[in-house]
Amino acid sequence: MDPPLCAKCGLFGSTTDLNLCSKCYRDYLESNNVLKIEFKSSTGKTYVFESSMSGKACASGSSSTVPSDSKSEEKRCKSCNKKVGLTGFKCRCGELFCGKHRYPEKHACKVDLKETGRQTLAKQNPKCTGDKLKNRI
């Protein structure tokens, strides 16, 4: 089965792109202000979402329509600025530390661990008192 020809220029087109070649389809999207976003899932499936951009100008000459951060946030130890990657330890204060600074006394943590321990023990062990007047006559 031969692929369909492009409706405008006569090159090979695609049925998913309105029987247009890639160049003609890109021109069609820019002229109609339609945004097409492709997402690839981890299972290998590709999802395509098309939406009309009413009132917004489409960026011409852009290779990708979704701005992506090319450099992700590096995971570094808060104390010594060492790269920790996947081996970092998250403290109760919310910061990330290496193996050397993971303990609260090593990085001068401001979280009061004694008070949080007392609160959890108070929640887990409610006070139990007996009825004082039960055995009285």
- The CA angle 133-134-136, to the nearest 5 degrees, is 65
Output the pLDDT for position 46. 65
Output the pLDDT for position 130. 76
Quick one: which of 30, 21, 22 has its CA closest to 52?
30
pLDDT of the chain, 137 residues: tens digit per residue? 677 888 888 888 888 888 888 888 888 888 887 665 665 666 666 666 655 554 444 444 444 444 444 455 789 999 999 999 889 999 988 899 999 999 988 888 888 989 999 999 999 998 888 777 777 76
Output the pLDDT for position 77. 92
pTM: 0.38
Output the pLDDT for position 74. 84
DSSP 31-79: HTTEEEEEEE-TTS-EEEEEEE-TT-PPPTT-S-SS---SSPPP-B-TT
Asked whether the beta carbons of 74 and 86 are under 8 A apart, the reply is no
Output the pLDDT for position 37. 60
